[in-house]
């Protein structure tokens, strides 16, 4: 009996993770590619974070996803399969912004979203007419995508397999971010009823929204939050802190089962502290407190290395975050991802130190900062992280929050990462 055609979807790993791999989420990118795959195909997953790839397996096609820091490994994997004659398709953010680079390692590259083009690509492959590039640009503000597929995942390997997006795109177009160039300059939304139906198909337990801004439009978010109350789901996601100006939204968030929300604060001061997404009538400290008081953990993320950051930024930021009492501070080094305005600016100014993509990961300095050396930026990042996760600082944060046990657990887990994760500088 002939078997179904078989596609292997690969998530490349850049380094080995120890026990932490048990706390990872499966790639939603590949769950969506799987969901768009016609049922005549068998879909297999090789998540390299979790297991070794079987390079000798019997596959008709290999599809590999890549963020920028994964690109080098993705190309190595692609080259090995192609050397055996297995056709390879590359997709995801990095191949989308640099398709001419990606095609050197692939038979075909999908630019942008898989859902509208993937079935055609598979059909073309079977007909022997695979094209080099596939792309369909998004339009309008409706997002119609199939429910993500979970059946090809081993649930016990992950923190949870229950992830989805209710929206894509972002209007803010921050110069350092890949989202607007990749997903478009407007929010596109799924119908709340469709999102709630997918959520209702989940077993009670932990789920995560992987939207860039799940609360970006209160009128879209409220029906989803109301519908989630009583579903038995505990969830996390990321949003623009300004949502907390709306008291009803904060109340609904807590009632819906939200346990943690990630917000981008970006900078303690200067130009990027006054971005439209973070500026408003209440102070950030007030908004953070308003959310925290409901028991929801607030993870606040800042970036070091903007052109208006001098060497005092590290100390000022740690103090600022203390004053705001974020439950979990997160620190990133500014990274000029290809495809962004920031990349083009640094390239024109001759400030990129290299384009070794595997080092473009927010934890290494890959450009010449304006007001300090690359080494100072790296060391300042290390010092700020350590300062924020000293035990007295952790205790201070935890004591201010309801849900002290959960807060403490999050902080201990993060502290482990902070003290164990340093890499090399530029």
What does the binding site for ligand SF4 look like in residue numbers (CB under 6 A)?
170, 172-174, 177, 179-180, 212, 264, 277
- From the list ligand SF4, ligand B12, none, pick the one residue 94 interacts with, judged by a Cβ distance below 5 to 8 Å according to partner type: ligand B12
Shortest spacing between CB 216 and ligand SF4, in angstroms = 9
Contact window for ligand B12 (CB under 6 A) among 78-86, 110-118, 265-273, 307-315: 110-118
Contact partner, 359, from ligand B12, ligand SF4, none, Cβ < 5-8 Å per class: none
Cα separation, 400 vs 285, in Å, equals 13
Distances (CA, A) of 141 to 36, 138, 144, 174: 20, 9, 10, 20
User: What is the crossing angle of helices 284-292 and 247-255, to 10°?
Assistant: 30
In angstroms, the CA 181 to CA 278 distance is 20
d(CA 220, CA 210): 16
User: What are the beta bridge partners of residue 11?
Assistant: 47
Residue 277 touches which member of ligand B12, ligand SF4, none, C-beta under 5-8 Å by kind: ligand SF4
Q: Is the CB of residue 269 less than 8 Å from the CB of residue 243?
A: no
Residue 202 interacting with ligand B12 (CB under 6 A): no
**Which partner, ligand SF4, ligand B12, none, binds residue 172 by CB below 5 to 8 Å per kind?**
ligand SF4
Smallest distance, ligand B12 to C-beta of residue 70, A? 6
Residue among 249, 161, 263 nearest 206 (CA) = 161
Mask for 204-243, x = binds ligand B12 (CB under 6 A) = ------x-x-------------------------------
Identify the CA nearest to 340 among candidates 213, 99, 173: 173
User: Distances from the Cα of 272 to the Cαs of 257, 302, 371, in angstroms?
Assistant: 31, 10, 16
Question: Which is nearer to ligand SF4, 169 or 260 (by Cβ)?
Answer: 169
Beta bridge partners of 89: 63, 108
Residue 216 contacts which entry, ligand SF4, ligand B12, none (Cβ below 5-8 A, type-dependent): none
The residues, any chain, with a CB within 8 Å of residue 196's CB and separated by 6 or more, are 223, 224, 227, 228
Residue placing its CB nearer to ligand B12 in the complex, 111 or 253: 111
Give the interface segment with ligand B12, choosing from 78-86, 89-97, 199-207, 371-379 (CB under 6 A). 89-97
Judged by CB under 6 A, which of 110, 153, 164, 233 binds ligand B12? 110
Least distance (Å) from ligand SF4 to the CB of residue 276?
9
Shortest CB 395 distance to ligand B12, Å: 25
Q: Whose Cβ is closer to ligand SF4: residue 264's or residue 363's?
A: 264
Among 34, 37, 43, 69, binds ligand B12 (CB under 6 A): 69
Burial of 247 (0-12, 13-18, 19+ CB in 10 A): exposed
| Shortest Cβ 255–ligand B12 spacing (Å) | 24
Which residue in 34, 46, 48, 65 binds ligand B12 (CB under 6 A)? 65
> What are the Cα distances from residue 250, in Å, to 218, 239, 257?
10, 12, 12
Q: In the bound complex, what is the minimum distance in angstroms from residue 190's beta carbon to ligand SF4? A: 17
Interaction partner, residue 62 (ligand SF4, ligand B12, none; CB < 5-8 Å by kind): none
Count other C-beta atoms under 10 Å from residue 22's C-beta: 12
Question: Which residues, other chains included, contact 10 with Cβ-Cβ below 8 Å and sequence gap of 6+?
Answer: 45, 46, 48, 53, 62, 63, 64, 65, 74, 77
Rounded distance between C-alpha atoms, residue 282 and residue 279, angstroms: 8
65 binds, among ligand B12, ligand SF4, none (CB under 5 to 8 A by kind): ligand B12
* 93 interacts with, out of ligand B12, ligand SF4, none, CB within 5 to 8 A per kind: ligand B12
Q: Where are the alpha helices (DSSP H) in 91-216?
A: 93-97, 99-102, 118-127, 179-183, 192-200
Q: Looking at 25, 103, 130, 285, which residue binds ligand B12 (CB under 6 A)?
A: 25
68 binds ligand B12 (CB under 6 A): yes
Minimum Å gap between C-beta 363 and ligand B12 is 6
Binding site for ligand B12 (CB under 6 A): 25-29, 32-33, 63-65, 67-69, 89, 91-94, 110, 113-115, 118, 165, 177-179, 183, 210, 212, 337, 361-363
């Amino acid at each position: 009996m002939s078997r179904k055609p078989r596609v292997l979807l690969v998530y490349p790993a850049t380094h080995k993770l120890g026990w932490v791999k048990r706390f990872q989420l499966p790639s939603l990118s590949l769950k969506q590619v799987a969901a768009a795959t016609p049922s005549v195909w068998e879909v297999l997953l090789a998540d390299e974070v979790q297991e070794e790839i079987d390079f000798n397996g019997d596959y008709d096609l290999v599809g590999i996803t890549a963020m920028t820091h994964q690109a080098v490994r993705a190309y190595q994997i692609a080259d090995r399969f192609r050397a055996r004659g297995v056709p390879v398709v590359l997709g995801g953010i990095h191949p989308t912004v640099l398709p001419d680079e990606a095609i050197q390692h692939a038979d075909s590259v999908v630019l942008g979203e898989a859902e509208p083009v993937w079935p055609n690509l598979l059909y073309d492959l079977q007909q022997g007419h695979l094209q080099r590039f596939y792309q369909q640009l998004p339009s309008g503000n409706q997002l119609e995508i199939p429910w993500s597929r979970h059946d090809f995942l081993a649930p016990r390997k992950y923190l949870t397999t229950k992830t989805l997006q209710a929206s894509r795109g972002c209007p803010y177009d921050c110069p350092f971010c890949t989202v607007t160039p990749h997903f478009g300059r407007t929010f596109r939304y799924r119908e709340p009823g469709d999102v709630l139906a997918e959520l209702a198909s989940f077993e009670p337990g932990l789920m995560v929204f992987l939207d860039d801004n799940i609360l970006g439009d209160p009128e879209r978010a409220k029906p989803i939050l109301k519908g989630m109350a009583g579903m038995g789901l505990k969830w996390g996601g990321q949003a623009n802190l300004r949502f907390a100006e709306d008291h009803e939204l904060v109340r609904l968030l807590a009632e819906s089962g939200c346990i943690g929300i990630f917000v981008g604060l970006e900078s303690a001061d200067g130009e990027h502290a006054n971005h439209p997404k973070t500026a408003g009538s209440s102070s950030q400290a007030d908004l953070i407190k308003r959310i925290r008081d409901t028991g929801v953990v607030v993870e606040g993320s800042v970036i070091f290395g903007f052109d208006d950051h001098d060497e005092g930024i590290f100390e000022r930021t740690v103090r600022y975050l203390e004053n705001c009492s974020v439950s979990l501070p997160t620190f990133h080094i500014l990274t000029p991802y290809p495809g962004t305005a920031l990349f083009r600016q640094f390239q024109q100014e001759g400030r990129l130190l290299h384009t070794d993509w595997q080092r473009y990961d927010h934890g290494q300095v890959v450009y010449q900062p304006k007001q300090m050396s690359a080494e100072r930026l790296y060391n300042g990042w290390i010092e700020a992280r350590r300062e924020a996760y000293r035990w007295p600082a952790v205790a201070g944060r935890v004591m201010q929050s309801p849900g002290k046990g959960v807060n403490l657990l999050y902080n201990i887990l993060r502290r482990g990462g902070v003290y164990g994760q340093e890499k090399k500088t530029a």
